[in-house]
């Protein structure tokens, strides 16, 4: 793949350019180290869902991995120290199809399937979880517009934004409304032909570099899930104030900050149609498999940190990989990584197939989050002092992983959603 200077091959173009011709057995014997068995394109998508990746998806993974190795890996430590992701590289990533991955081609995106987007996201996260979060946040922010926007809104706020390689932020969380968005207080009221917005948002990804804010607000005199709407606010609008980057435990290169709105005015045409709470929940159904893919990437990267080290580090006259207690850690890491991969692929496949996905998406996000933390912790322990050192990968991966059980719906919220969805078929069944 060409370097950033000469222009990397867009991941979206991989899907258009590849023509896979297979004969004989439908399952290809080739095995990708990270993704397992690869199947031919003619293999039933439903059969492949959650178990295998296709040849084209393997090429998407390889393209994303190559981009990361050439353009990101050498600079990660510098980004950590600067606590910022270079805007110039964001533009290169956008040109390469690694931002807005699941946005349809009709609106300027690469038009990847959710599965392919998750696969690419995991590859990016295996290199740098902060970069994966930065990239994925744009898809998250634009999804409400794709779900509920008019064609005019999609043209102005999706197609035009992507054409100029701009970023957007999804603004749901508030200082007093985190796990329960029904408690949000940011208000909207009508004033002639305008909407006036007042309030504050907290922990907003890309807040300092986004040019569009997709903001969930409350209509006057409403409470709970009712009266929540979604409004589109350009960041440069008068009355919008962006806070400084938060000092975080991990994912330092991902800009996270607060936003305040003081008598912010936008035209009524910037309001999305429909129930804002439902729009937010539908958006999260789409975003949780992608967030789970970030956890998968951390798992994959942690394994790749730990296994070569365990084979070369000698203690007691033999590589530590030959010691049973280390083998136990490796077995746990490998098992949790496989579990995470299968859940990511299955939850993404359901979305691509248009099937109900709330339960599976929450399971994927729940398990990927806890698995990533555990797998990263095992990697730190296997590398010992090197794992604890900031000069090596495991220390960063562990810090980056720790936010996964918190953002995009806490582990506790996922448990509530999973239990609710599991019980749903039995609620009206007499036992």
φ, ψ for residue 355 (rounded to 5)?
-100, 155
Q: Which of 159-163, 174-178, 424-428 has the highest mean pLDDT?
A: 159-163
* Position 28 pLDDT exceeds 80: no
pLDDT number for residue 425 = 86
Asked if 254 contacts 204 with a C-beta cutoff of 8 angstroms, the reply is no
Residue showing tokens 């990016």: 124
Exposure string of 118-130, with b = 16+ CB inside 10 Å and e = fewer, is: bbbbbbbbbbbbb
Cβ–Cβ < 8 Å for 408, 287: yes
Superfamily of domain 11-163: Acyl-CoA dehydrogenase/oxidase, N-terminal domain (1.10.540.10)
Question: Matching CATH topology for 11-163 and 168-276?
Answer: no
23 pLDDT above the threshold of 60: no
Split at pLDDT 50, 70, 90, the class of 87 is confident
* Signed CA dihedral, 137, 139, 142, 147: sign only: negative
Q: What is the DSSP string of 86-113?
A: -HHHHHHHHHTT-SSTTS-GGGTS----
Name the average pLDDT for the chain: 89
Tokens of 214: 């997709």
Contact 228, 275 (CB under 8 A): yes
User: Which of the four pLDDT bands, split at 50, 70 and 90, describes residue 192?
Assistant: very high
List, for residues 43-82, the tens digit of each pLDDT value: 555 444 546 788 889 999 999 999 999 999 999 988 888 8
Q: Is the pLDDT of residue 1 over 60?
A: no
Least confident range of 170-184, 330-344, 376-390:
170-184
- Which token pair is 244? 């400084």
Cα–Cα dist 231/229, whole Å: 7
pLDDT of res. 162: 96
List the domain boundaries for the chain. Answer: 11-163, 168-276, 278-426
DSSP SS3 for 242: strand
Decide if pLDDT at 292 tops 90: yes
Per-residue pLDDT at 2: 41
| CATH of span 168-276 | 2.40.110.10
With cut-offs at 50, 70 and 90, classify the pLDDT of residue 20: very low
Task: Indicate whether 30 pLDDT > 80.
Answer: no
Q: Whole-prediction pTM value?
A: 0.89
Is the predicted pLDDT of residue 11 greater than 70, yes or no?
no
Bridge partners, 199 (sequence order)? 261
Residue 357: the pLDDT is: 87
> What's the CATH code, domain 278-426?
1.20.140.10
For residue 241, give the nearest of 197, 276, 280, 277 by alpha carbon: 197
Q: Is the pLDDT of residue 19 over 50?
A: no
* For the chain, percent of residues with pLDDT exceeding 70: 88
Task: Assess whether pLDDT exceeds 50 at residue 27.
Answer: no
pLDDT single digits (tens) 90-101: 889 998 999 999
- Residue 219 designated active-site: no
What element of type H or E holds 168? strand 168-171
Q: Which of 57, 174, 395, 408 is catalytic?
A: 408
d(C-alpha 99, C-alpha 12), whole Å? 10
Least confident of 27-36, 200-209, 298-307: 27-36
Q: What was the pLDDT predicted at 32?
A: 57
Q: What's the average model confidence in pLDDT over 153-180?
A: 94
């Amino acid at each position: 793949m060409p370097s950033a200077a000469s222009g990397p091959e867009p991941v979206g173009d991989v899907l258009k350019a590849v023509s896979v011709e297979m004969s004989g057995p439908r399952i290809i014997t080739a095995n990708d180290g990270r993704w397992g068995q690869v199947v031919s394109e003619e293999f039933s998508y439903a059969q492949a869902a959650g178990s295998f990746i296709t040849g084209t998806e393997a090429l998407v993974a390889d393209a994303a991995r190559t981009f990361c190795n050439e353009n990101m890996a050498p600079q990660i430590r510098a980004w950590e120290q600067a606590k910022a992701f270079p805007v110039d590289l964001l533009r290169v990533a956008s040109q390469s199809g690694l931002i807005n991955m699941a946005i349809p081609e009709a609106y300027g995106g690469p038009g990847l399937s959710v599965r392919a987007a998750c696969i690419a996201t995991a590859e990016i996260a295996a290199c740098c979880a902060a970069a994966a979060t930065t990239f994925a946040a744009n898809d998250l922010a634009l999804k409400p517009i794709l779900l509920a926007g008019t064609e005019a809104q999609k043209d102005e706020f999706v197609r035009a934004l992507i054409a100029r390689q701009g970023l957007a932020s999804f603004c749901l969380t508030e200082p007093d409304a985190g796990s329960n968005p029904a408690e949000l207080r940011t208000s909207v009221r009508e004033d002639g032909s305008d909407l006036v917005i007042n309030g504050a948002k907290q922990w907003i990804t890309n807040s300092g570099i986004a040019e569009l804010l997709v903001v969930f607000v409350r209509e006057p005199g409403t409470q709970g899930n009712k009266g929540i709407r979604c409004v589109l606010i350009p960041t440069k609008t008068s009355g919008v104030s962006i806070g400084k980057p938060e000092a975080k435990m991990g994912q330092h290169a991902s800009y996270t900050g607060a936003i305040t709105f003081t008598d912010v005015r936008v035209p009524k045409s910037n309001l999305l149609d429909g129930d804002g709470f439902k729009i937010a929940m539908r958006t999260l159904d789409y975003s949780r498999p992608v967030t789970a893919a970030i956890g998968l990437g951390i798992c994959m990267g942690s394994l790749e940190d730990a296994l070569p080290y365990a084979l070369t580090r000698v203690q007691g006259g033999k590589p530590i990989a030959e010691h049973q207690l280390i083998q136990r850690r490796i077995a746990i890491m490998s098992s949790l990584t496989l579990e995470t991969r299968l859940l990511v692929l299955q939850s993404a496949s359901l979305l691509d197939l248009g099937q109900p996905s709330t339960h599976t998406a929450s399971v994927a996000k729940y398990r990927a989050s806890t698995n990533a933390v555990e797998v990263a912790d095992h990697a730190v322990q296997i590398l010992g002092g090197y794992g604890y050192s900031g000069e090596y990968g495991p220390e960063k991966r562990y810090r980056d992983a720790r936010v996964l059980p918190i953002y995009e719906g806490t582990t506790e919220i996922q448990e509530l959603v999973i239990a609710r969805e599991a019980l749903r078929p039995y609620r009206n069944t007499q036992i």
